[in-house]
Structure 1
Amino acid sequence: MIQVLMALKFLSRGSMKGEKVGMANSLRASMSPGSIFRILMRFFQLIMGIVVIGLYAQDLTRAHNAGVKYDSKWMYATITGTLASFWAIVCMLPLVKAWFLFGIDFIVFILYIAAFGIFGKMYINEDPEGNGGIIRMKHAVWILLVNMLLWFTSFVYGAVVFWKYWKGKRSPTMAV
């Protein structure tokens, strides 16, 4: 009976005294508010990138099925969503220091600015007159704006973390 109680106590603690910390405990201990923010930001960027792909690729599919040439604006938006989604997945990997590569976030931000400019000029002031395609594109413009803001936020966050890291590396109090 005593051994059963000891086993239950061991299982509830997750480790024995003096034993190295397990993977779950290590992960829990390494989750700072900054890393939680980073993972959530990248997750939303991934989801919103997939939304952009879905909104613009359906028109490309429709053009393909009709045998019509693809419109380069829709291709640009779809490729931007694809690149953004891919980069969001890469940045969610645990060993990637995405803040070190904050310049790529800036590039994706610029790509979304261009897409927002292209489609905003075409659809923001457009009167849909009951046309479902135009209504969908008006909504897609605001999705592009949200993506643009998400990528700008991750760029600024990465730049701040990089600056703090670089400043800490160069401080005279740190051992070389």
Structure 2
Amino acid sequence: MESRLLLVDDDEVFGAVMARALARRGFMVNWAREGAQALQLARQHHPTHAVLDLRLLEGESGLDLIEPLREINPSIRIVVLTGYASIATAIDAIKLGAAYYLPKPVDADAIVRAFGHAPGGGETAVPVTEAEPLSVRRLEWEHIQRVLAEHGGNISAAARSLNMHRRTLQRKLGKRAVNR
């Protein structure tokens, strides 16, 4: 059976490079830049694999595509990519049925390896090696993301829970995720 892959990413350069790289690894790739286009392609081609960017244009989330894709093909293997990695979103992705969650930058070989993981199989959602412990800044970022998710994205409630001024929290959230 051929492997049909749906790539959903709004970044023109990344999408083009990744589509070519995954095609060289044996996948028949369809690339969408937004959610509606992705679901249309999925209905037409019934992908066996999907690579979803977490944040798409105009506030769309790749997480919102997981359930509809699983309705189209219950055995689809889904990997979620993000430039804004956090434990909270990794947990959400895995709970929704993604096989794996990878922080960007990522290469095609890592994506192909990630397809081999069982959904909810207990693997680490965001790979961290023991040789590279998380920095204090990264741990703070992860904690803030978890608390924000617990409060449904409400910045004021999260700030109160963190015993932090709302503007300070907004400033921290406005920065890119801290790398390890």
TM-score band by shorter chain is under 0.3
- Greater RCO (Cα-Cα under 8 Å, separation 6 or more): 1
**More helix per residue:** 1
TM-score using structure 2 length: 0.24
TM-score using structure 1 length: 0.24
